[in-house]
């Protein structure tokens, strides 16, 4: 069972990057399922129904979210109605949508769980207890977690906490791909952050002049998504159909260098 996971899609450049690369990567890596974090897909913050539909139409099977899940009010009903989008699980009871999905992949279940970390991010329920509760409840050997969190320590701790109990932990939210993709001893594929799909010449996707102005003056500023060439970050994970453990894992990063065309940096080995 092979999954292609795209990191946080930031605004139009991120959507453009994915639509350009997805057909090639679908042919090259032959994923059974394509998942993407869409929490920055509409104008850099949140997601709207129209943008979610646009992404699903590209061939993405499931969208995950994060701390900006509630940014666009018109998505609330969409989260209740559409099973191809999930928001973080560790939120208070009664909020719209679902915190996980169980996909049918050629007759095999794949549970996909979205969780938010708590350090420097917001008020959420304990993600560690939340995954314990969910794993006791669901019946699927194949489980992928999108752990949307700010600090590498919380993400690493979470990876060790679930090692051997889930197939993969893909970190999202910090938008910069980390070089620590590996399969932990228990069989869980782990990366601290898969990186973003968004404008390359930016500050984590945002217009760099605006961000610099904010840092230099500390004045309140309205952020805007940067323009320009996209960077596309993703990961590929292969899961054994026997026991749900990861058997192969690698990250992908497609970006422009200098004046040349895009290059692909990858740790995936065919
Ligand atoms: Fe986020």
Task: Judge whether 213 counts as a catalytic residue.
Answer: no
Distance 177 CA to ligand 1 centre (A): 14
Distance 239 CA to ligand 1 centre (A): 26
Nearest to 255 by CA among 191, 201, 208, 203: 201
Which of 68, 148, 173, 175 is catalytic? The answer is: 68
Q: Tokens representing 194?
A: 């898969």
Residue 239 has pLDDT above 90, yes or no: yes
Distance 155 CA to ligand 1 centre (A): 14
Nearest to 119 by CA among 171, 73, 197: 171
Condensed to tens digits (0 to 9), the pLDDT of residues 135-183 reads: 999 999 999 999 999 999 999 999 999 999 999 999 999 999 999 999 9
Distance 172 CA to ligand 1 centre (A): 7
Q: What is the pLDDT of residue 257?
A: 77
Condensed to tens digits (0 to 9), the pLDDT of residues 70-109 reads: 999 999 999 999 999 999 999 999 999 999 999 999 999 9
pTM for the full model?
0.97
Distance 139 CA to ligand 1 centre (A): 29
Residue 214 has pLDDT above 80, yes or no: yes
Condensed to tens digits (0 to 9), the pLDDT of residues 181-191 reads: 999 999 999 99
Condensed to tens digits (0 to 9), the pLDDT of residues 48-75 reads: 999 999 999 999 999 999 999 999 999 9
Phi, psi of 252, deg, nearest 5: -125, 140
């Amino acid at each position: 069972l092979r999954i292609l996971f795209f990191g946080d899609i930031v605004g139009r450049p991120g959507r453009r990057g994915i639509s350009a690369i997805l057909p090639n990567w679908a042919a090259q890596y032959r994923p059974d399922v394509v998942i993407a974090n869409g929490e920055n897909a509409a104008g850099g913050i949140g997601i709207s129904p129209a943008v979610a539909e646009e992404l699903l139409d590209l061939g993405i099977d499931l969208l995950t979210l994060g701390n900006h899940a509630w940014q666009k009010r018109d998505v609330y009903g969409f989260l209740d109605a559409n099973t191809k989008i999930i928001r973080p699980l560790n939120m208070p009871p009664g909020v719209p949508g679902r915190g996980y999905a169980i996909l049918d992949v050629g007759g095999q279940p794949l549970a996909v769980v979205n969780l938010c970390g708590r350090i420097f991010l917001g008020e959420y329920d304990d993600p560690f207890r939340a995954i314990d509760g969910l794993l006791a409840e669901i019946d699927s050997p194949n489980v992928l977690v999108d752990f949307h969190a700010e600090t590498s320590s919380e993400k690493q701790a979470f990876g060790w906490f679930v090692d051997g109990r889930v197939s993969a932990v893909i970190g999202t939210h910090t938008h910069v791909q980390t070089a620590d993709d590996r399969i932990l001893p228990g069989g869980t594929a782990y990366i601290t952050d898969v990186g973003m799909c968004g404008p390359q010449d930016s500050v984590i996707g945002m217009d760099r002049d605006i961000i610099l102005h904010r840092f230099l003056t500390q004045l309140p500023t309205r952020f805007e998504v940067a323009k320009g060439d996209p960077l596309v970050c993703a990961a590929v994970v292969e899961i054994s159909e026997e026991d749900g453990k990861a058997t192969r894992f690698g990250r992908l990063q497609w970006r422009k260098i200098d004046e040349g065309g895009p290059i692909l940096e990858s740790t995936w080995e065919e």
